[in-house]
Amino acid sequence: MSRPPMGQRAVRAQHAPWISELAATKYDGRSREEGIDLTSVTFRMDSSDGFSESLGLLILEDEGVVIQFRTQDAILGVAKGDVEEVDVPFRDIDDFVYKKTLFGAKVRIVVNDMNYADDLPFCEINTITMSIKKRDRERAEQFVHSARLRLSERAYRRSLRDD
């Protein structure tokens, strides 16, 4: 599945393989066994109304983060639409936060653009919060470390240009 280069932030509904298939297979030709930094993690998030939930995949790319998700009925588990995709470039990200919980973990992305609250059903004002299952804690922690490193490298390169 090829994506256009990340440029303008956009929400695109598209047909895609089911999220768990994306997480279980190779991404960009790199497999989990090769020891390369993990660049994706699956997540789950309940909507504020409690009647729907979103299952998705958080993908780390060179220019930012891609959030793919599908919203479904929380009670029946019936999908309410196609897989949607939101590109969040690093210029719109202030911080990544990983918090271990009793039953899993939370990954929070703090953005500096409130428009993401309109695009994502699980975004409050400027914080995108995703729940991670216990079995994916290590993946999520590695994801956040890699994302913070890329964010820091971007800030460092920007400071060199400013000098």
Domain boundaries along the sequence of the chain: 11-162
Instruction: State the sign of the Cα–Cα–Cα–Cα dihedral 20, 106, 91, 54.
Output: positive
Alpha helix segments (H runs only) across the chain? 19-24, 116-119, 137-162
Non-local CB neighbours of 45 within 8 Å, separated by 6+ positions: 53, 54, 56, 69, 121, 122, 129, 130, 131
Class (C level, CATH) for 11-162: mainly beta
- The answer to whether 78 touches 72, Cβ cutoff 8 Å, is yes
Mean pLDDT over each residue of the chain, to the nearest integer: 78
Predicted confidence (pLDDT) at residue 147 exceeds the cutoff of 60: yes
Residue 144, pLDDT score = 95
Tell me the C-alpha distance between 15 and 163, whole Å. Answer: 45
Contact of 14 with 83, CB cutoff 8 Å: yes
Q: Is the pLDDT score of 159 beyond 60?
A: yes
For 46-81, the pLDDT digits (tens) are 776 667 788 899 999 988 999 999 888 777 777 778
